[in-house]
């Protein structure tokens, strides 16, 4: 089955409504971190506090996401995502109101943390749905799931391009507060729609809803560290971009420039489905990590917004292939009933990395400017390469062991979902 045929089959199985809802439902998460950074920085006049608030949101989301993912594994996604969507929208609105009312920095950080705890991880949970959606497709299922993860990686990157861009546009036209209000509305509408979509029912039945087996293994721990590294990259790069754009007198352009990172990344993500299946995902992660190192160092040389835009655009081409490899390995090395917890745990690692990257880069930027923030980006790509290079055998062995394990009863025989 060719990559194009696999994509076409996936969209027929899921239906256009699901594709649209699953994309728009993840935009608020993509908007929340930069929106919080801009909102709190503007309200308090310090990048350090803005980075701390954005980091608090990310850390709280990282803490809450695996718990929510585990609950979704056990009870299905519908009730979990529905509660989170309503609570997350209300929390975003509350954060906006408090910032507008000149609340203290400590209050804003706490409310940002509460907001992060409530926000649903639509992207990781969408990944969980693809195996039930494609069940009943026989020997084609593995190829379809691989294509689905390539698609999800590209869509995630597109959302993290459009989300910050939307924050930037609304911040320029209205204010940073208006950007978070927009995120709240999107979450209330499309997060709820994602929760109520018929595909959510499949996550509450069958082998995928019976958590068994160990989640935390040596191989999965390696993947968590690998994904945390790309989170640091996001946080540091976003902070450095915000600092340089503000110094240039165009703070609202920070989101638009950072969005360029996701444009090339999304394109590269779609292209990963064309990679021959015999090239293992662990080797793909290693190749992408090499590209991250090679493409990140130009950030140390930029001193203008056009140069920064070009450097960020080039770096983006290595991001999605790296993340797709990590998430694909995560789906393969954990038991079927733990997939929700695994995907949200990897997303949580991204959030923890973002918090670390934005906090460290923000503090360094307060002292030494944007170049110091980008130095954090370059350093973390070297860490990603080190992890990928030294853990190839462990990851390969874990994939083989999972492939040799017996399939959960009823998985292959279940009918495929057609969601209209």
DSSP assigned state of 415? P
H or E segment to which residue 308 belongs: helix 305-333
Confidence check: pLDDT of 212 > 80: no
The rounded distance, in Å, linking the Cα atoms of 394 and 308 is: 37
**Is 416 within the bounds of a domain?**
no
Tell me the residue range of the domain where 66 lies. 3-404
Query: Cβ distance 199 to 417 under 8 Å?
Result: yes
Quick one: tokens of 19?
A: 């594709």
Q: Is the dihedral of CA 290, 294, 296, 300 positive or negative?
A: positive
User: What's the residue count for the chain?
Assistant: 420
Q: Match 């670390």 to its residue by tokens.
A: 356
- Does 411 fall in a domain? no
In order of 83, 84, 136, the CA distances from 142 in angstroms are: 32, 31, 11
Q: Say yes or no to pLDDT of 99 above 60.
A: yes
Q: What is the pLDDT of residues 320-376, one digit of tens each?
A: 899 999 998 988 888 767 777 888 889 888 878 887 898 899 889 888 889 999 999
Largest Cα separation within the chain, whole Å, is 60
Evaluate whether residue 116 is within a structural domain: yes
Is the distance from CB of 13 to CB of 417 less than 8 angstroms? yes
Provide the pLDDT confidence category of residue 379 given band limits of 50, 70 and 90. very high
Locate all alpha helices (DSSP H) within 248-304, ordered by sequence.
253-271, 281-296
CATH code (residue 328): 1.20.1250.20
- 369 assigned to some structural domain: yes
Q: Look at residue 350 and tell me if it is in a domain.
A: yes
What confidence tens digit (pLDDT) does each residue in 110-140 have?
Answer: 999 999 999 998 988 998 898 888 887 777 8
Mean pLDDT of the chain: 85
How many structural domains comprise the chain? 1
Q: Is residue 417 part of a domain?
A: no
Residue of 222, 202, 215, 181 whose CA lies nearest to 96: 181
Question: Which candidate, 103, 27, 47, 17, places its Cα nearest to that of 259?
Answer: 27
Please give the model's pTM, rounded to 2 decimal places.
0.78
Tell me the C-alpha distance between 347 and 280, whole Å.
22
Rounded to the nearest 5 percent, the helix, strand and coil shares of the chain are 85, 0, 15
Rounded Cα gap, residues 182 and 92, in angstroms: 9
* Burial (CB count within 10 angstroms: exposed 0-12, middle 13-18, buried 19+), residue 300: middle
What are the tens digits of pLDDT across the range 246-299? Answer: 888 877 777 778 778 877 888 888 888 888 777 888 999 999 999 999 999 999
Residue 21 lies in a domain: yes
């Amino acid at each position: 089955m060719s990559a194009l045929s696999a994509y076409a089959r996936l969209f027929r199985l899921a239906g256009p409504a699901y594709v649209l809802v699953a994309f728009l439902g993840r935009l608020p998460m993509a908007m929340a971190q930069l929106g919080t950074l801009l909102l709190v920085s503007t309200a308090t006049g310090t990048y350090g506090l803005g980075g701390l608030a954005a980091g608090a949101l990310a850390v709280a989301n990282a803490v809450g996401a695996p718990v929510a993912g585990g609950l979704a594994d056990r009870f299905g996604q519908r009730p979990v995502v529905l509660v989170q969507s309503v609570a997350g929208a209300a929390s975003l609105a509350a954060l906006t109101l408090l910032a507008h009312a000149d609340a203290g920095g400590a209050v804003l950080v706490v409310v940002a943390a509460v907001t992060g705890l409530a926000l649903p991880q639509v992207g990781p949970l969408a990944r969980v749905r693809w195996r039930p959606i494609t069940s009943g497709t026989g020997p084609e299922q593995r190829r379809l799931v691989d294509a689905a993860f390539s698609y999800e990686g590209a869509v995630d990157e597109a959302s993290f391009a459009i989300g910050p861009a939307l924050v930037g546009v609304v911040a320029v036209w209205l204010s940073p507060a208006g950007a978070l209000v927009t995120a709240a509305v999107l979450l209330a509408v499309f997060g709820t729609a994602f929760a109520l979509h018929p595909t959510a029912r499949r996550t509450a039945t069958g082998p995928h809803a019976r958590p068994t087996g160990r989640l935390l293994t040596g191989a999965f721990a390696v993947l968590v560290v690998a994904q945390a590294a790309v989170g640091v990259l996001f946080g540091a790069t976003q902070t450095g971009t915000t600092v340089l754009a503000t110094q240039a007198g165009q703070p609202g352009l920070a989101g638009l420039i950072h969005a360029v990172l996701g444009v090339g990344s999304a394109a590269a993500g779609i292209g990963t489905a064309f990679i021959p299946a015999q090239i293992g995902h662990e080797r793909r992660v290693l190749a992408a990590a090499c590209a991250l190192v090679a493409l990140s160092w130009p950030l140390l040389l930029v001193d203008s917004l056009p140069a920064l835009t070009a450097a960020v655009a080039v770096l983006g081409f290595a991001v999605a292939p790296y993340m797709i490899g990590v998430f694909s390995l995560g789906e393969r090395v954990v038991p079927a009933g733990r997939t929700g917890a695994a995907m949200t745990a990897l997303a949580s690692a991204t959030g923890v990395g973002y918090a670390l990257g934005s906090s460290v880069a923000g503090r360094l930027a307060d002292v030494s400017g944007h170049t110091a923030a980008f130095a954090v980006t370059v350093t973390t790509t070297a860490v990603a390469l080190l992890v990928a290079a030294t853990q190839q055998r462990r990851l390969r062995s874990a994939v083989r062991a999972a492939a040799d394990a017996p399939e959960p009863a009823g998985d292959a025989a279940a009918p495929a979902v057609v969601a209209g």
